[in-house]
Amino acid sequence: MTKRPSQLVIKWKTYQWGCLLFRSGTGRALIPTLIFLIAIFFAVPSTHAEATNSEATTSSTNKLAKPDASMLVAEIAPEIAPVTEADNNQLSSQVAETIAPLMSVKLKLGWNNYHGPSLPGQPDSATGGQVQMAIPFSVFNQPNLMRVTTPFQFDGRGDDGFSRVTVFDLLAFSESWGRWGVGPVMSVDTTGQAADRFVLGPAVGVSWNVSKKLKLGLLSQNVFWSNTSRSFLQPIIGYQLGNGWALSSGDLQFTYDWEKGRWINVPIGFQISKVIKLGQRQPISFGLSQQYNLLNTTGQKGYSISFSVTFLFPTLGHHE
């Protein structure tokens, strides 16, 4: 017995995305690409048993039924339930929570300037963004959350194009007060300009449900190698405004360099986001974020503003 067509379509489309990602210039980041392709087969499990039971149950009632076009469309269409306003609020809460078990694909575009005086022959600002994929899955009934982040630059100081690719995989644990996770994080440099091409370390995240509307937490990622020793701290602050709107800390990330013994990025800012649905089925989150680095270090980012579009897939993978 074959798998449901919708499951095959999802896996085939994901395979195509992975191939495009590999050929688009991030092919140098082979490991994250392979991890993404493998994880999707955990996130979209086989439904052989369910399909068999379902067909056995309905065969007797539909034995004499004459197939028509509507039955064919229902059979091959992706099984995505309509999204309600309550779902939008729940999804909005998960979008603001970095370690929530929600499958998503995010595209962010932004602009920033630099601290310090102008440099001869160097631009005073930059445009770029990042692609981020969050993939929840289970291994031996243990929930995991993998996130792949690929930043890129259109123009600015340094090389244009894709740069360092970061992947973390957290073993996720849900508690009555919230959730927490622990696992490895690794980063691969694709520019050849970093002190270390590959770095690895531990990551840990925690999120606390203060109330139905407020979540607080922290994600800590730490990478080490021969010439690299840095910690990245991302606060989790999300407040639900209702009707799919949320105010959060967004992608704020504090960076401490243990080799230099000092902070190199201390941002303040916020993000306003809204979850809507396309065609009553596909949820999408739009976000507008702005940040300012309090450390006036020459060459570091100063003020930045970005816009993001996140496609959400709550019916795929391990979710709550």
Comparing 23 with 238, the larger pLDDT belongs to: 238
Q: For 280, which DSSP code? A: T
**Over 90: is that where the pLDDT of 11 sits?**
no
**Over 50: is that where the pLDDT of 230 sits?**
yes
Q: What is the mean pLDDT of the chain?
A: 80
209 within some domain: yes
> Can you tell me the mean pLDDT for 147-153?
95
**Over 70: is that where the pLDDT of 256 sits?**
yes
C-alpha to C-alpha distance for 210 and 97, rounded to whole angstroms = 13
Domain-terminating residue out of 19, 42, 76 = 76
Q: Are residues 72 and 119 in the same domain?
A: no
Q: pLDDT tens digit string along 87-128?
A: 889 999 999 999 999 999 999 999 999 998 888 888 999 999
- How many domains, the chain? 2
Domain-terminating residue out of 26, 54, 76 = 76
Domain-terminating residue out of 18, 50, 76 = 76
C-alpha to C-alpha distance for 12 and 300, rounded to whole angstroms = 41
The separation between the first and the last C-alpha atoms of the chain, rounded to the nearest angstrom, is: 29
140 within some domain: yes
**Over 50: is that where the pLDDT of 213 sits?**
yes
Q: Are residues 63 and 201 in the same domain?
A: no
- Residue 162 is predicted with a pLDDT of 85
Residues in the chain: 320
- Residue 84 is predicted with a pLDDT of 59
> Can you tell me the mean pLDDT for 282-301?
93
- Residue 137 is predicted with a pLDDT of 95
Q: Are residues 58 and 139 in the same domain?
A: no
Backbone dihedral angles phi then psi of residue 57, each to the nearest 5 degrees:
-75, -40
Instruction: Indicate if the alpha-carbon torsion angle 255, 113, 308, 148 is positive or negative.
Output: negative
Q: Are residues 52 and 101 in the same domain?
A: no
Comparing 25 with 83, the larger pLDDT belongs to: 83
**Over 50: is that where the pLDDT of 251 sits?**
yes
Q: Are residues 12 and 96 in the same domain?
A: no
198 within some domain: yes
Q: Write down the pTM of the prediction.
A: 0.74
What burial letters (b/e) apply to 156-167, b meaning 16+ CB within 10 Å?
A: beeeeebbbbbb
CATH of the domain at 200: 2.40.160.40
245 within some domain: yes
- Residue 38 is predicted with a pLDDT of 46
Q: Are residues 64 and 89 in the same domain?
A: no
- Residue 69 is predicted with a pLDDT of 39
319 within some domain: no
C-alpha to C-alpha distance for 77 and 80, rounded to whole angstroms = 9
Q: Is 116 left (phi over 0), alpha (psi -120 to 50) or beta?
A: left
Nearest to 215 by CA among 171, 252, 178, 250: 178
C-alpha to C-alpha distance for 252 and 287, rounded to whole angstroms = 14
Q: Are residues 150 and 299 in the same domain?
A: yes
Q: Are residues 154 and 189 in the same domain?
A: yes
- Residue 278 is predicted with a pLDDT of 87
Q: pLDDT tens digit string along 189-207?
A: 988 778 899 999 999 999 9
> Sorting pLDDT into bands at 50, 70 and 90, what band is 299?
confident
Which are the contacts of 74, defined by CB distance < 8 A and separation ≥ 6?
none
- Residue 320 is predicted with a pLDDT of 54
Asked if 310 contacts 105 with a C-beta cutoff of 8 angstroms, the reply is yes
> Sorting pLDDT into bands at 50, 70 and 90, what band is 75?
very low
Q: Are residues 261 and 295 in the same domain?
A: yes
Comparing 95 with 19, the larger pLDDT belongs to: 95
243 within some domain: yes
Token digits for 100?
């929530």
10 within some domain: yes
Q: Are residues 305 and 220 in the same domain?
A: yes
Q: Are residues 177 and 66 in the same domain?
A: no
Domain of residue 53 covers 5-76
> Sorting pLDDT into bands at 50, 70 and 90, what band is 14?
low
Asked if 275 contacts 88 with a C-beta cutoff of 8 angstroms, the reply is yes
- Residue 12 is predicted with a pLDDT of 56
Q: Are residues 65 and 190 in the same domain?
A: no
318 within some domain: no
